[in-house]
Structure 1
């Protein structure tokens, strides 16, 4: 487990992401939220799997819930990007042997 605690960088302050993430890492707040609250993984499991301090996982979750407007904007951006690029993906039923 990582010993260093990181801070959360907002979308506006980031130079590597267009969404909030753990400073010095490419792990986003949304990623942490999806793992813990979406998939039901424990915060400790997420910390262990991604070499994070447990506190960083909790900081990311707190940021997610403390900034609902920003997180909704992030989700809308992700949905638009997926829709705009849907033509670039392959439907498994269209793949030939």
Structure 2
């Protein structure tokens, strides 16, 4: 397991993530608060210090407006590109 304590930075797609990794604050929050995984489990699965997971959760809750803006941008991008995806039910043999 990594013993490097990472800072939260905004270098990747202008979204807060762990420094030196592509793991976003939003992803870590979803794993813990929406999927119900423990911070230790998430840390182990992604080779992180458990402190990094807690740091991301703290960042998420300390910056609610920023995180809501990011969530709206993600949803908008999904809707904007939805026409590019294929519905399995519409594909014929």
**Aligned counterparts, 1:13-32, within 5 A:** 14-32=10-28
Normalising by structure 2, we get a TM-score of 0.95
58, 70, 73: which is aligned to 2:66?
A: 70
TM-score of the two chains, using structure 1 as the length reference: 0.92
Aligned length: 93
Instruction: Please state which structure has a larger fraction of its residues in strand.
Output: 2
Q: Deviations over 1:56-77 (max 9, x none)?
A: 0000000000000000000000
| CA RMSD, Structure 1 to Structure 2 (Å) | 0.9
- Residue 20 of structure 1 aligns to a residue in which SS? strand
Superposition deviation, residue 24 in structure 1: 0.7
Structure 1, unaligned runs of 5 or more: none
Describe the SS at the equivalent of 2:57.
helix
Is 1:57 aligned to 2:50, yes or no? no
Query: Runs ≥4 in structure 1, deviation > 3 angstroms?
Result: none
Is 1:84–2:67 an aligned residue pair?
A: no
Q: Deviations over 1:22-50 (max 9, x none)?
A: 01110000000000001000101100110
Instruction: Report the secondary structure of 1:85's partner residue.
Output: helix
